[in-house]
Structure 1
Amino acid sequence: MAWGIALRRSEERELALMWSARWSLTTRILAVNIFALAMLAGGFFYLDSYRSQLIDARLDEVAVQARLIAEALDAAQPDRQHVLLEQLEQASDLRLRVYDAGGARVLDSWLVGPPTYVLRDPDEEAWQRKAARALDRAIDIVVGADRPERFNEPARDTLSAWPEALAAKKEGIPETRLRRAPDRTPVISAAVAMPDTGMTLLATTNARDIVRIVRAERLRLGIVLAMVITLSVLLSLFLARTIVRPLRRLARAAHRVRLGRAREVQVPRLPSRRDEIGLLARALSDMSLALRQRIDATEAFAADVTHELKNPLASLRSAVETLEKVKDPALQDQLLDVVRDDVHRLDRLITDIADASRLDAELSRARFETIDLGQMIEGLIAQREKRGIDADVRLAFARPHAGTAVVLGDGSRLTRLIENLVDNAISFSPPGGLVKIAATRDGDEVVLRVDDEGPGVAPDVREAIFKRFHSIRPEGEAFGQHSGLGLAIAKAIVEAHNGTIMVEDRDDAPTGARFIIRLPVAER
């Protein structure tokens, strides 16, 4: 018992749900799929890393270009620097500014050529761009992206207005700086010192193409993510529909059965389902049918018990009431005999009824073991002959070879089975008659036969005699000697042992009945 309780608790722990116990099955399916999609949405974090790589690459590129331009300008004649500056601006697409040793701006490519970029005012752009910037801002907040300082053209354009230019002049190495334009696009600058002339070059550009590249990639990822989310939600709902709806129907049907409405509940069998839910539906349907049959059988049994008990009780009541009024001693003795017979009949009925009512429960809990029917029947016949047999009926048993008629079963119940069949055969046998018992092996079955020399059983009642309280007794037998439960108990025992029982006429005698029981052979 303790082992069974521990096993049950272990199974309950294995099947228990921790944090999701209160969630419906549909919610769990959606949650699992959406979690997988959230992992896909992590691609937006990759886009931030991709953008950072593009910006770093552009910073290095501008720094290299600025260094090469500075070397070219440093080597050029002063009167040729304006022309060279314009040419270099067109080739590099950068705004180039040169500051002298005192920090004053002496050259500006925008003064000799067209502007290379335009800083756009966000307030003057269309709503689509505003929406794109709002999305940029939201994603930057989610991924925790760095926020560069804002780019503003200085009111007085001198070297001191550009920290990267001051650092480059001081350190003698190229310096870069990232800023953001009013429309959130990156502005990249690089400063390079020109040691031969003591001047400093500052190159700036609005890397709007980086934003376009990132937005294009984000759009593609967003489209894929939207498609996958839509498909995943639809598949999740389909999965929930194919799982949750039938389970809900089965749960409602089981609930109605629990409320005591087993007769009116039709548990769906879902014949088209070949999966585990279909197996569950058919198992529950079969269980409800079995329960319905059990309830009907219990009610019929209760009604039969009531009917069978009323007859001896009515007879007993009549005899007791009459006994008070009768003064004749001979009549009183007759009435007392009736009372005794009725009391014995009631005792027999109550004993058989109690045995029949607990038979199923006991057999369901019984531990089967190997039983040699030959030895068992031989012992039963010996005990019966010692007690004496009514009407001098003889018993004959053709004992099989040892180990031939071995079955798996409950010894006490198999003993009761054989006793009931033998008692039935004796009661129908004529005085001095012979009851033959045989047990043989037939393939994978053990066949047990009990033959009597009585009148036999009519074909139209051969099924009915195995029903409870159905009693067809031989002529001349006193009323109430049998409860009508012996063969019903025998059939229940046989079926509990996965066997069959039937009755037919004897083929080796002019009269008599033959009861045949088939039980599976015990596997060695």
Structure 2
Amino acid sequence: MPKNDSALGTPEAAARTSLTTRILAVNIFALAMLAGGFFYLDSYRSQLIDARLDETATQVRLIAEAYAVTPAEDRPKLLAKFGQVTETRLRIYHYPVPSVAPASIPVQFDSWSISPPTYQLRDPTQEEWQKRVARFLDRTIDVIVGADRPGQYADPDRDTLVAWPLAQQAMKVHGLVTDVERAPDRTPMILAAIDIRNPRGGGDILLSTENQRDIIRIVRAERLRLTVVLLIVVLVSVSLSLFLARTIVRPLRRLALAAHRVRLGRAREVQVPRLPERRDEIGTLARALSDMSMAIRQRIDATEAFAADVTHELKNPLASLRSAVDSLGLVKDPELQKQLIDVIRDDVGRLDRLITDIAEASRVDAELARARFESVDLGIMIEGLLTAREERGRNRDVRVAFARPHRGTAVVFGDGSRLTRVIENLVENAVSFSPPQGLVQVAATRDGDDVVIRVEDEGPGVPPEAREAIFNRFHSDRPEGEQFGRHSGLGLAIAKAIVEGHNGTIMATDRDNAPTGARFVIRLPAWSR
């Protein structure tokens, strides 16, 4: 059952989106985290306001202490001077006894009455468009970050104690109270009120108001810097994302298109781009797909050639069989009928051997792919094979000698039954080509990281020009006098397929220091624990 993207750990939603979209999404997510700096600006603004509240509280306490020890006639000048230095507006509300209703207590002194105003509340409707845009951004960001919304500040029409809840609270707690409100143009207003008790009874409420416009300027300046940095990072990130997507997605699309054309099989030679200039994983993938498509093409060509060869090889015995069957009904001579029946029997046997070998050759690759390899001691395996041949009389009048290696020196990792088939084919060929009383020598030795198997005979040998062709399917070059059709020409082809399936090699050479004879050499990787 094929695994879907979810089974492989890829969410279904991501699997439905393109790779370009995913790359952009990942980078935009990182930018969103950078945009979280606006939350930091809100915290920074809150810290500035808290610092100004503490500073104002300290100033108001000092002013109240100075006010308490200053003669009454000098207090207005003192408050006016403090108001100019601290850029605040100072008001005094005198109450003779705490029981007096705040509504009946008017302002006794206002620092702006004898000195110029220390701040100006601006009408937002009269400001230029840049300020309106800035305030719109302030409101938008406040909504996004969930900033606190202080109350709206406005000077009362009738300036009495009851118009200032903060002053009433200071009077109630007999101490200092601070608060933050927002001016019409959204700038912070710092308010502080303190109760200055008179030892002889009654007291004064000192109210300080201050427009901290510079806090907005500082926050906006930091926001502008952050916005510029964010825009630059966005442009760079999006550009790099598009570049990355282009360098990844475009070659992947080319590979996918080529793979699709290979799947459709409409083009005989589909060139899968190898991307030799790429040295990354995509280049590795491209070359792997190209090699895979070439291997598939070669496998298809081999299959088609094999099918054509099978058709050709089957036609000969079938034609002979058809001719013998057709003639059998016309011949009345018992002797000729017996000869025709022998021909039919030989052709049926030949077809049986041919079909058996064809089936073996066609499934050897698939069975090797499913086989469970294990360590195989070739010395023990070959010794058992040759003993069985001797007991069954398979060697006829040919002597077979085996130089058995030390136990454990000729061990490979593979399928023992398949390797037995290889040695069986080579020994059978060597025996069939050997002269009467000839000698076939089999050896298995360790050579570095390989195990080398040699099978030598004293037959006519293999001509140099035929040493590659003998491993082709249905190539049959049999000794003189052998009955036709006893071999299918697939033995060495099967042996080569099995050896290569074990990552080994097989070749035919001349014997050393011998006038005749052939030597088949197999090299297999040695098994190491």
Q: What's 2:101 paired with?
A: none
Structure 2 unaligned segments of length 5 or more: list them: 96-103
- How far, CA to CA, are the matches of 2:176 and 2:510 in structure 1? 117
Q: CA deviation at 1:257?
A: 3.1
- How far, CA to CA, are the matches of 1:291 and 1:113 in structure 2? 97
Instruction: Give yes or no for the alignment of 1:231 onto 2:223.
Output: no
- How far, CA to CA, are the matches of 2:68 and 2:377 in structure 1? 116
% identical equivalent positions:
70
- How far, CA to CA, are the matches of 2:475 and 2:441 in structure 1? 24
Contact 1:391/1:430, CA 8 A, preserved across alignment = no
Please give the TM-score of this superposition, normalised by the length of structure 1.
Answer: 0.90
Contact 1:505/1:513, CA 8 A, preserved across alignment = yes
Q: What's 1:203 paired with?
A: 208
Q: CA deviation at 1:310?
A: 1.0
Q: What's 1:164 paired with?
A: 166
Q: CA deviation at 1:499?
A: 2.2
Q: What's 2:195 paired with?
A: 193
Q: CA deviation at 1:256?
A: 3.3
Q: What's 1:133 paired with?
A: 135
Amino acid at match of 1:84: L
What whole-Å deviation, never above 9, does each CA across 1:177-212 have from its counterpart, x for those lacking one?
322111111122222334337333322221111111
Q: What's 2:383 paired with?
A: 378
Over 3 Å counting, the alpha-carbon distance change for 1:354 and 1:136 in structure 2 is same
What whole-Å deviation, never above 9, does each CA across 1:108-152 have from its counterpart, x for those lacking one?
222222111111111111111100000000111112122122222
Contact 1:498/1:519, CA 8 A, preserved across alignment = yes
Instruction: Give yes or no for the alignment of 1:268 onto 2:273.
Output: yes
Contact 2:94/2:203, CA 8 A, preserved across alignment = yes
- How far, CA to CA, are the matches of 2:20 and 2:447 in structure 1? 55
Please give the TM-score of this superposition, normalised by the length of structure 2.
Answer: 0.89
Instruction: Give yes or no for the alignment of 1:281 onto 2:286.
Output: yes
Q: What's 2:87 paired with?
A: 93
- How far, CA to CA, are the matches of 1:511 and 1:162 in structure 2? 125
Q: CA deviation at 1:362?
A: 1.6
Q: CA deviation at 1:508?
A: 3.4
Amino acid at match of 1:187: M
Amino acid at match of 2:54: D
Instruction: Give yes or no for the alignment of 1:481 onto 2:475.
Output: no
Q: CA deviation at 1:296?
A: 1.4
Q: CA deviation at 1:403?
A: 4.1
- How far, CA to CA, are the matches of 1:386 and 1:275 in structure 2? 60
Over 3 Å counting, the alpha-carbon distance change for 1:47 and 1:377 in structure 2 is closer
Higher mean alpha-carbon deviation, 300-309 vs 332-341, is at 332-341
- How far, CA to CA, are the matches of 1:104 and 1:385 in structure 2? 132
Over 3 Å counting, the alpha-carbon distance change for 1:499 and 1:78 in structure 2 is closer
Q: CA deviation at 1:457?
A: 1.7
Q: CA deviation at 1:317?
A: 1.1
Contact 2:371/2:415, CA 8 A, preserved across alignment = yes
- How far, CA to CA, are the matches of 2:131 and 2:323 in structure 1? 107
Instruction: Give yes or no for the alignment of 1:80 onto 2:74.
Output: yes
Q: What's 2:25 paired with?
A: 31
Higher mean alpha-carbon deviation, 317-326 vs 187-196, is at 187-196
What whole-Å deviation, never above 9, does each CA across 1:283-305 have from its counterpart, x for those lacking one?
23222222222121111111111
What whole-Å deviation, never above 9, does each CA across 1:64-88 have from its counterpart, x for those lacking one?
3333334434444444344334323
- How far, CA to CA, are the matches of 1:55 and 1:92 in structure 2? 16
- How far, CA to CA, are the matches of 2:356 and 2:181 in structure 1? 101
Pick from 240, 250, 259 the counterpart of residue 254 of structure 1. Answer: 259
- How far, CA to CA, are the matches of 1:133 and 1:518 in structure 2? 84
What whole-Å deviation, never above 9, does each CA across 1:196-247 have from its counterpart, x for those lacking one?
3733332222111111111111112222222223333333333333333333
**Aligned to 1:483, what secondary structure does the other structure show?**
coil
Amino acid at match of 2:504: G
- How far, CA to CA, are the matches of 1:400 and 1:89 in structure 2? 110
**Aligned to 2:108, what secondary structure does the other structure show?**
strand
**Aligned to 1:484, what secondary structure does the other structure show?**
coil
Contact 1:262/1:292, CA 8 A, preserved across alignment = no
Amino acid at match of 1:353: I
- How far, CA to CA, are the matches of 1:111 and 1:349 in structure 2? 123
**Aligned to 1:105, what secondary structure does the other structure show?**
coil
Q: What's 2:503 paired with?
A: 498
- How far, CA to CA, are the matches of 2:391 and 2:173 in structure 1? 125
Q: What's 2:98 paired with?
A: none
Contact 1:323/1:332, CA 8 A, preserved across alignment = yes
Over 3 Å counting, the alpha-carbon distance change for 1:317 and 1:152 in structure 2 is same
- How far, CA to CA, are the matches of 2:110 and 2:56 in structure 1? 17
Q: What's 1:213 paired with?
A: 218
Q: What's 1:152 paired with?
A: 154
Pick from 114, 120, 123 the counterpart of residue 116 of structure 2. Answer: 114
Over 3 Å counting, the alpha-carbon distance change for 1:431 and 1:132 in structure 2 is same
Over 3 Å counting, the alpha-carbon distance change for 1:429 and 1:26 in structure 2 is same
Pick from 367, 374, 393 the counterpart of residue 369 of structure 1. Answer: 374
**Aligned to 1:176, what secondary structure does the other structure show?**
strand
CA RMSD of the aligned region, Å? Answer: 2.7
Over 3 Å counting, the alpha-carbon distance change for 1:498 and 1:12 in structure 2 is farther
Pick from 35, 43, 56 the counterpart of residue 37 of structure 2. Answer: 43
Q: What's 1:66 paired with?
A: 60
Higher mean alpha-carbon deviation, 371-380 vs 317-326, is at 371-380
Q: What's 2:344 paired with?
A: 339
Structure 1 unaligned segments of length 5 or more: list them: none
- How far, CA to CA, are the matches of 1:374 and 1:73 in structure 2? 114
Q: CA deviation at 1:384?
A: 2.7
Alignment map for 1:316-331 (pairs within 5 Å): 316-331=321-336
Alignment coverage as a number of residue pairs: 517
Amino acid at match of 1:171: V
Contact 1:122/1:182, CA 8 A, preserved across alignment = yes
Contact 1:97/1:108, CA 8 A, preserved across alignment = yes
Over 3 Å counting, the alpha-carbon distance change for 1:57 and 1:403 in structure 2 is closer
Pick from 233, 243, 251 the counterpart of residue 248 of structure 2. Answer: 243
Instruction: Give yes or no for the alignment of 1:394 onto 2:388.
Output: no
**Aligned to 1:325, what secondary structure does the other structure show?**
coil
Contact 2:53/2:190, CA 8 A, preserved across alignment = yes
Over 3 Å counting, the alpha-carbon distance change for 1:67 and 1:246 in structure 2 is same
Q: CA deviation at 1:16?
A: 4.5
Q: CA deviation at 1:12?
A: 8.2
Alignment map for 1:367-516 (pairs within 5 Å): 367-389=372-394, 392-516=397-521
Q: CA deviation at 1:507?
A: 3.3
Q: What's 1:181 paired with?
A: 183
Q: CA deviation at 1:465?
A: 0.7
Contact 2:470/2:492, CA 8 A, preserved across alignment = yes
Q: What's 1:143 paired with?
A: 145
Amino acid at match of 1:179: E
Amino acid at match of 2:197: P
